[in-house]
């Protein structure tokens, strides 16, 4: 996440009222921005990820980092890196990690949220599932944020862009754009 997008995410989270949810934390860079805003607001960030990586960071793909392969299992495991990032940032008391499948967790979520940040797997099906699972959990005037929204397919995958378009059609209103970050209000 480029710094300008991270700051826009932080500012959106600072304006949110209530708990924050992040879908897809990877190693925790965006959780630092969100966690800092949660601390300022007296809120918490629940960050949800299975920590085995989405397809674009698997072996053979452009964004693969071989350091994230667990030598015991041979699978991607970003969770220890996420934990180290939260400890280094001093955010362990306001960032609560939930390890698992986002839509499965959403089925058991009952609290209204001030902000939902969707930045998990980027396939059309995955982003649509995250949107369908979490957008209804937003409080009135809550913020929905998508990352990696690219109108031009040559710039990136279309899953986040199509989910963003769907949110607009569902009545969410554009609030801010910064790079590939889109902030919408219910």
Half-sphere exposure of 32 (CA within 13 A, CB side): 19
Q: Which of 50, 51, 122, 147 is catalytic?
A: 122
CA triple 88-106-128, angle to 5 deg: 95
Q: How many CB atoms lie within 10 A of CB 89?
A: 18
3-state secondary structure of 69: strand
Task: Produce one character per residue of 37-51: b if its CB has 16 or more CB atoms within 10 Å, e if not.
Answer: bbbebebbbbbbbbb
Q: How many CB atoms lie within 10 A of CB 120?
A: 25
| Catalytic site includes residue 64 | no
Active site residues: 122
């Amino acid at each position: 996440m480029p710094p300008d997008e991270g700051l826009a995410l932080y500012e959106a989270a600072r304006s949110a009222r209530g708990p924050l949810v992040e879908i897809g934390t990877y190693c925790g860079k965006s959780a630092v921005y969100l966690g800092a805003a949660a601390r300022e607001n007296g809120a918490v960030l629940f960050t949800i990820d299975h920590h085995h990586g989405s397809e674009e960071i698997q072996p053979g793909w452009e964004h693969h980092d071989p350091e994230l392969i667990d030598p015991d299992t041979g699978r991607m495991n970003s969770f220890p890196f996420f934990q180290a990032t939260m400890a280094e940032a001093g955010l362990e008391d306001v960032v609560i990690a939930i390890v698992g499948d986002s839509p499965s967790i959403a089925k058991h979520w009952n609290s209204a949220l001030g902000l939902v940040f969707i930045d998990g797997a980027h396939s059309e099906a995955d982003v649509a599932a995250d949107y369908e699972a979490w957008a209804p959990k937003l409080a009135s005037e809550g913020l929905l944020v998508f990352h990696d929204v690219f109108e031009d397919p040559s710039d990136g995958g279309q899953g986040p862009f199509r989910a963003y378009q769907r949110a607009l059609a569902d009545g969410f209103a554009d609030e801010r754009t910064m790079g590939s970050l889109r902030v919408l209000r219910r």
